[in-house]
Amino acid sequence: MKAAIRITRAIFGLIGLALIALGISFWSGHLLSLVRLHMMLGMLFVLCMWLLVVLAFIAGSARGLAVVVLVWSVIVPIFGMAQLRLLPGSRHWLVQAAHLLIGLIAMGLGHSLARRIAAPSATSPVRVATG
């Protein structure tokens, strides 16, 4: 279980960094031919979030946070797919900033969930479960 959490978290972290690096280069007008790759990596990023949610439910810990991660994992791709059509023109930077913020929050949530499942608190149901 711990290995699965560690591996998922490591992949999630690496993909997150790649998404930010690609995104920042798009922002500066570079590597625009890799937008599709960015979108595919974004889907893998979302899959890692789902995997962490499943691991949280199997471990029986941090269920509340797992639900928040699940909800956020739906917002990330919906906004990501829609963003090219939102607020075209001089205000588009607002959409871009929102997309980055949503992605950064997703990274924070995913890492927090992984930390919580790997080290359940003393009050976690996992510790008090019998049989």
Site residues, ligand HEM (CB under 6 A): 16, 19-20, 23-24, 26-27, 32, 35, 38-39, 42-43, 45-46, 76-77, 80-81, 83-84, 96, 99-100, 103-104, 106-107
For residues 48 and 107, give the distance between their C-alpha atoms in angstroms, rounded to a whole number.
Answer: 11
Closest CB to ligand HEM belongs to which residue?
Answer: 23
Q: Is 87 left (phi over 0), alpha (psi -120 to 50) or beta?
A: left
In the bound state with ligand HEM, the residue whose beta carbon lies nearer, of 1 and 43, is 43
Q: How far is the CB of 75 from ligand HEM (least distance, A)?
A: 10
Q: How far is the CB of 10 from ligand HEM (least distance, A)?
A: 16
Asked whether 19 and 40 are in contact (CB, 8 A), the reply is no
For residues 38 and 43, give the distance between their C-alpha atoms in angstroms, rounded to a whole number.
Answer: 9
Name the residue type at position 117. Answer: I
In the bound state with ligand HEM, the residue whose beta carbon lies nearer, of 33 and 123, is 33
Residue where the block lists tokens 């007008």: 29
Q: How far is the CB of 3 from ligand HEM (least distance, A)?
A: 24
Q: How far is the CB of 76 from ligand HEM (least distance, A)?
A: 5
In the bound state with ligand HEM, the residue whose beta carbon lies nearer, of 46 and 55, is 46
Structure token digits, residue 3:
């290995």
Residue 96: CB partners within 8 Å, gap ≥ 6? 27, 83
In the bound state with ligand HEM, the residue whose beta carbon lies nearer, of 32 and 87, is 32
